[in-house]
Amino acid sequence: MAAKIHIERMMHRSSIAVPGETAASYALVKLIPSGLGQVSKPMGLNLALVLDMSGSMYEEDGTNISRLKRVQDAAIAAIQKLKPDDTMTLVAFANNALVCLPPTPIAEKEKIENAIRNIEMNDIDPGGTAMNDGMRIALDEIEKLSAPGKLSQVVVLTDGETSGEQDCRKIAERAHTSKIHLTMMGVGLDWKAPLIKDLAKISEGKWYYIDVNNAAEAERIFIEEFEQLAATAFMNVEMHLRPMKDIKIKRVRQVVPDIKELQLNEPEERHLVAPLGTLQKDQSGRYVLDLSLPKRPDGKYVIAQMEITYDLGLGTRESTGPIPLEMTYTSAGHGYVNAEVMKHIDEVQIFELNKNLQDAIATNKTEEVQKVAQQIEAKGQLMGARAAKKTMLARQVLQELNAGGKVSKKTQLAMEDSARMAEEMPSN
């Protein structure tokens, strides 16, 4: 049996009543990998690590260990999770940028560890933060080994604002065109969050916030990211949706492993495509579809055909084939709510509220900040223990607002980081 992606789908209600012209509904889609023991060639990883070497990386933040030392330790711990035939490229940047280690197999672990440990020995001028130069050099190196069967990824870590922001965006677009994803890591509070998030979004990658006051945080995040990269089994996964007449698919969001809205393209009429990126061999991906359903007589209807296409790294596209998404109509009233789907919808709603909160903070709308933070707190309390951190941070926003009239950047970042994290329900 070849490796496959199985699809499970469920509507947020067992049946729907549409008293007016249309009604909103949601569908949860699970993509579950299987048969991975039969893959003839494991997915190789072509990885570049791009490290900020500006002067602020030598700050200790009350931990008695410099940021740079913590990142070096974290990177060395994380490469233990990679496969011997994966490759690592090391790039450093500050006022200038250069390659500290050309693409090297992980099998040469001692060589890689030495390069990371001795990165300060390279001729880097610490008086600046030219992240764009570091990103460009990393892409140049990683493209040399880009090939079918390899996942190419650039991990960028910075603790400050960078020069050449527009250049950074152009480089992210180049990475996207080359199907190279960016992982952006912001350390502390002085990096430019909107830029980092933009770069991750443009390249269909992800971003992380590293709290400098938590000495173990860098290692946890590096290990988490490298484990996920090493476990990648499916590349360039796409969801194809073909809704029936009068059915509207308004949005597609990923909800596991984290929450983010996905770009929805329409290459032809009634054919929507959402790029899902990569899928790990041991973790399902979950997605919520926002739907608008028209009035129908009672009965069961196919509302859309769904197909997942993907690349196993063997040079060909594979497909699940079309799978129907169905809905039961009943004029007697709505059916029961599916608790699993509702859990993810609750988390998406907190995610959306947090976006409203960030906008209100950015525009100094104090009353709106207070209102939205209260909404997040109330929603978190309804969700119970699984939303404890989100509730706590909403209270922290209110406390800071009442005490000093503004919300600290650290709390804003922690709030946003927490809002996009979703916990997967235990499997049956």
Query: Which amino acid, residue 121?
Result: M
- Rounded to whole angstroms, the Cα distance separating 262 from 286 reads 12
Residue 36 confidence (pLDDT): 60
All residues at 6 or more sequence positions from 120 whose CB lies less than 8 Å from its CB, including other chains: 53, 68
Query: At 426, is the pLDDT very low, low, confident or very high (cuts 50, 70, 90)?
Result: very low
What's the pLDDT score for residue 42?
59
Look up residue 42 and give its two tokens: 């494991």
Question: CATH number of the domain at 1-336, please?
Answer: 3.40.50.410
- Give the per-residue pLDDT at 138: 98
The segment(s) of the chain belonging to CATH 3.40.50.410 are: 1-336
Three-state helix/strand/coil letters over the chain: CCCEEEEEEEECECCECCCCCEEEEEEEEEEEEECHHHCCCCCEEEEEEEEECCHHHHCCCCCCCCHHHHHHHHHHHHHCCCCCCCEEEEEEECCCEEEEEEEEECCCHHHHHHHHHCHHHCCCCCCCCCHHHHHHHHHHHHHCCCCCCEEEEEEEEECCCCCCHHHHHHHHHHHHHCCCEEEEEEECCCCCHHHHHHHHHHCCCEEEEECCCCCCHHHHHHHHHHHHHHCEEEEEEEEEEEECCCCEEEEEEEEECECEECCCEEEECCEEEEEEEEEECCCCEEEEEEEEEECCCCEEEEEEEEEEEEECCCCCEEECCCEEEEEEECCCCCCCECHHHHHHHHHHHHHHHHHHHHHHHHCCCHHHHHHHHHHHHHHHHHHHHHHHHHHHHHHHHHHHHHHHCCCCHHHHHHHHHHHCECCCCCCC
CB atoms within 10 A of CB 65: 13
pLDDT tens sequence across 97-113 = 999 999 999 999 999 99
- What count of residues does the chain have? 428
**82 vs 226: CA distance, rounded Å:** 7
pLDDT (tens digit per residue) in 285-344: 999 999 999 999 999 999 999 999 999 877 789 999 999 999 999 999 999 999 999 999
pLDDT at 97: 97
Residue 204: pLDDT over 50: yes
What's the mean pLDDT in 23-48?
Answer: 82
The arithmetic mean of pLDDT across residues 395-416, rounded, is 93
What is the pLDDT, as a whole number, of residue 40?
45
| Residue 215 reports pLDDT greater than 90 | no
How many other β-carbons are positioned within 10 Å of the β-carbon of residue 122? 16
Cis check: omega of the bond before 257, within 30 degrees of 0: yes
Distance CA 178, CA 176 (A): 5
* Whether residue 422 has pLDDT greater than 80: no
Burial 392-407 (b: 16+ CB within 10 A, else e): ebbebbbebbeeeeeb
Report d(CA 208, CA 193) in Å as an integer.
10
State both tokens at 296.
């129908």
pLDDT digits (tens, 9 = 90+) for 16-25: 999 999 999 9
